Amino acid sequence: MSQSPVYTIGYGSRSLTDFIRVLQQQQIEFLIDVRSQPYSRHKPDFSKEPLRQFLADEGIRYVFMGHQLGGRPEDPDCYREGILDYDLLEEMPFYKAGIARVQDAVDKGFRVALMCSEEKPEQCHRGKLIGRTLSVLSVAIRHIDENDQLITQEEMMLRQTNGQLTLFGTATKPANETPETILKRVFGFDEFRPLQANIIQSVMDKQDTVAIMPTGAGKSLCYQLPALMWPGLTVVVSPLISLMEDQVMQLRDMGVPATYLNSTLGRDGFAYTVAQIRQGEVRLLYAAPETLLRPDV
């Protein structure tokens, strides 16, 4: 009997019901959580203990392995000049032990899925790192993408390569995505609030746009949604550090690759974030004004 592949999935914008439905479609028996921090403020159902119980009710076993296979390890030896180095991480005993556990489960005939928060495997370490490691070991990989489609490791790598488009210039919109579909798929809203649609359309028409809106009117969506319509990086400059951190956490929980640069980051954290940006792994960057004056930015 042929081995079952290792599946991967990111919950992103999925509801818990949809997430479990996808797992059941693939007859997943073990869900392996590879988040370094298995918690979500925006989607508390996907935090470690609630998720464990929800899965148990559906006959799926939850296993946390973020300490072995997480994308933000605590061991400083995984970093080179403050930047996470996948090659170094692959050689760590704890990482190798985690990979061995996954292999052992597959060898025993279990159907397993690796879970993180990012919906798109090409934007997550489960594809760029773990998938690479397992492929070298001749373990078949099937990534469940944001459209519930199965793609191979090779197809994921092609997506990653083709995604490195120019930051400015002749970018084109995704053919099958409209602002309304992204509003529903990513943010979970059925319709825009007053003014939002007009502002977003102005941005999509590449017009310089100034929007003055009251508190609670949904200003952030007016730049967050267009950022997902175009390839490249969107930079949000704000002096409100706590606000930017909250928004970044919410976006990450929705599967949007977002990050921030501000004075709360230490040297290593700052270097790691800059490296992510340079590698094209970030779609939305929140930056405090003073960080733009740093020579490494």
Q: What is the mean pLDDT of each run of 10 residues along the chain (297 residues)?
A: 85 93 96 94 92 96 96 89 85 96 94 94 91 90 93 83 41 61 88 92 90 90 90 89 88 86 84 79 90 74
The C-alpha R_g of the chain, in whole angstroms, comes to 20
Residue partners of 4: CB distance under 8 A and separation at least 6: 106, 109, 110, 111, 112
The tokens describing 41, both together, are 């403020």
3-class secondary-structure state, position 79: strand
Can you tell me the distance from the alpha carbon of 219 to that of 27, in angstroms, rounded to the nearest whole number?
A: 41
Torsion of CA 223, 8, 278, 171, to 10 degrees: -50
What is the CATH code for 179-293? 3.40.50.300
* Cα-to-chain-centroid distance, residue 286: 16
Pairing of β 234-237 and β 284-287: parallel
- What pLDDT was estimated at residue 48? 95
3-class secondary-structure state, position 268: helix
The tokens describing 186, both together, are 């990513």
Q: Are 31 and 113 in contact (CB under 8 A)?
A: yes
Q: Which of the four CATH numbers 3.30.360.10, 3.40.1010.10, 3.20.20.190, 1.10.230.10 does domain 6-162 have?
A: 3.40.1010.10
Tell me which residue of 46, 49, 42 sits closest to 17, measured CA to CA: 46
Can you tell me the distance from the alpha carbon of 100 to that of 92, in angstroms, rounded to the nearest whole number?
A: 12
- CA dihedral sign, ordered 83, 86, 87, 91: positive
- What pLDDT was estimated at residue 163? 46
- pTM: predicted TM-score of the whole model, two decimal places: 0.62
- The residue extents of the domains of the chain are 6-162, 179-293
CA atoms within 13 A on the CB side of 94: 14
Fold agreement between 6-162 and 179-293: no
